[in-house]
Copies of this chain bind each other. A is one copy, B any other.
Amino acid sequence: MKVRVHVSLKPGVLDPQGRAIHHSLEGLGFAGVNDVRAGRLIELDVADSVTDAALDEMCRKLLANMVIENYRVEKVAA
């Protein structure tokens, strides 16, 4: 089973990487960009026996920093 975990900073948390990307896009001449936020994408290939609760626990224990980040688990049809 393929699982994608999207990890993004919570709203209000300062995102210097996103600001740097935003600044660079403007420097390259791209107009119309209002905001950029940078996050992580973690693609897991797990056994079908792995439960949603286990995936949630992986995110909370390792993949995301729950103090400043949100995560979203997306199962991908194989």
**Interface residues in chain A, defined as those with a beta carbon under 8 Å from any beta carbon in chain B:** 6-8, 18, 21, 24-25, 28, 30-47, 49-50, 54, 57-58, 61-63
Contact = CB atoms under 8 A, between A and B. Distances in A.
A30 B58 contact: yes
Contacts of A46: 32-34
Contact of A42 (B21, B45, B58, B61): B21
Contacts of A37: 42-43
Nearest to A43: B37
8 contacts: A8-B43, A21-B42, A21-B63, A25-B62, A30-B50, A33-B47, A36-B44, A39-B43
Given A21-B63, A62-B21, A34 B40 contact: no
A2 B46 CA distance: 30
